[in-house]
Structures are given as structure tokens and as C-alpha cells.
Amino acid sequence: MSLKKEEVLDELSHHLFSIRKCSCVGRYTCKLMSGMFASFLLYSIPRCFIIDSFSHSVVYDGKNTWDVGNGFVLRNYKYPNKDVPSPELIPQFSKWFDPLIFKKNYSDEKLSTARKNITIKELKNLGITTE
């Protein structure tokens, strides 16, 4: 089963908001959101990466950085590079966007610190197995 990224976001949104009843106040941490989104994203693409720093976690699809926990995607950008583009809000998660948190997490100081010590986890969809 292959899903488009829009369908992946809809599916994750459904699980969080309809099934789990997640609210803005009780949202998940960026590390949990990155893991959940990356898992769902593998229905759309064969591999993706979770990039963790000490203070932040995002998903990189080989072209764009997805900060689903904060409600946006950074097109043609790999965290924690300099020259951060303007965030593009993800409709299903835009209620979590806070410009102050964006400025904090993507400030020159935070990105410089992140570049010194990051962990990159590659996730691959190896196909369906049957037993």
C-alpha cells in the first residue's frame, strides 16, 4: 500500500485527534511526533530519517524537513543547516505552530549547537513479509 504524503498526514491526524483525542495543550513531544510521523511516512516513501539533537527532533525525507510536532514543513532544507526557509504550515497540525517556538528552535545559536551533536536514524520500508 502506497500513500501520498497528504494521506499520511491525514492518517496520523486521524489517529491523534479522533482516536487518541490529542489536544493543543496535551500534544506529544517532538521526539514522539517524529517517530510516529516517520513510521507513517514509510507508507509513502521507501526511506526517511529522524534527526535528533539534544533539544529537538524532526523528520527528513531526503528533501524536506518535517517538524510535525510544531505543525510545519521546511521545503528544500535539512535540519540543522543554516539558512532556514520560511515554514510552510501543515493544515492538519497548523494549530500547533507557534512563531516563538519556531524562532527558538531554529535560531542561529540552537542550530549551531545542534550541528555539534546530532543523531540521525535511517528508517527503511523493506516491504511486506508473510510467514
Q: How confident is the model over 114-127, as pLDDT tens digits?
A: 999 999 999 998 87
Please report the pLDDT score of residue 12 as a whole number. 75
Cell of residue 119, nine digits = 543523531
Please report the pLDDT score of residue 125 as a whole number. 86
Cα–Cα distance for residue pair 18/20, rounded to 1 Å: 6
pTM over 0.85: no
Cα–Cα distance for residue pair 115/53, rounded to 1 Å: 8
62 vs 130: which has the higher pLDDT: 62
> Any idea where the domains of the chain sit in the sequence?
5-124
Of the candidates 68, 69, 57, 43, which has an alpha carbon nearest to the alpha carbon of residue 127? Answer: 43
Distances in Å between the Cα of 35 and the Cα atoms of 42, 48, 59, 69, 80 are: 11, 11, 8, 10, 18
The pLDDT tens digits for 62-119 are 999 999 989 999 999 999 999 999 999 999 889 889 999 999 999 999 999 999 999 9
Of the candidates 76, 85, 88, which has an alpha carbon nearest to the alpha carbon of residue 111? Answer: 85
**Average pLDDT of the segment spanning 19-34:** 65
- Could you tell me the pLDDT band of residue 43, with boundaries at 50, 70 and 90? confident
Find the distance separating the first CA and the last CA of the chain, reported in whole Å.
18
Please report the pLDDT score of residue 6 as a whole number. 74
Phi, psi of 49 (to 5 degrees): -130, 140
- Could you tell me the pLDDT band of residue 26, with boundaries at 50, 70 and 90? very low
Q: State how far Cα 117 lies from the chain centre.
A: 19
Contact between residue 79 and residue 65 where contact means Cβ atoms under 8 Å apart: yes
